[in-house]
Amino acid sequence: MARTFFIGGNFKLNGSKKSIKEIVERLNTASLADNVEVVICPPATYLDYTVSLVNKKQVTVGAQNTYVKASGAYTGENSVEQILDVGAKWTILGHSERRTIFHEDDKLIAEKTKFALDNGAGVILCIGETLEEKKAGITLDVVQRQLKAVIAEVKDWTNVVIAYEPVWAIGTGLAATADDAQDIHASIRKYLAKELGDKVAEETRILYGGSANGSNCSSFQDKVDIDGFLVGGASLKPEFVDIVNSRA
Number of H helices, E strands in the chain: 10, 8
Q: Give how far Cα 97 sits from Cα of 10, 92, 240, Å.
A: 12, 11, 21
CA pair distance 142, 128, nearest whole angstrom? 7
User: Dihedral of CA 120/68/211/18: which sign?
Assistant: positive
Q: How many residues does the chain have?
A: 248
CA pair distance 189, 122, nearest whole angstrom? 19
List 95, 97, 129, 185, catalytic entry: 95
Strands 205-208 and 90-93: unpaired
CA pair distance 236, 12, nearest whole angstrom? 10
CA pair distance 34, 247, nearest whole angstrom? 11
165 is catalytic: yes
List 97, 129, 165, 185, catalytic entry: 165
Closest CA to 106 of 93, 119, 116, 118: 93
Three-state DSSP class for residue 119: coil
CA pair distance 4, 85, nearest whole angstrom? 26
Catalytic positions: 95, 165
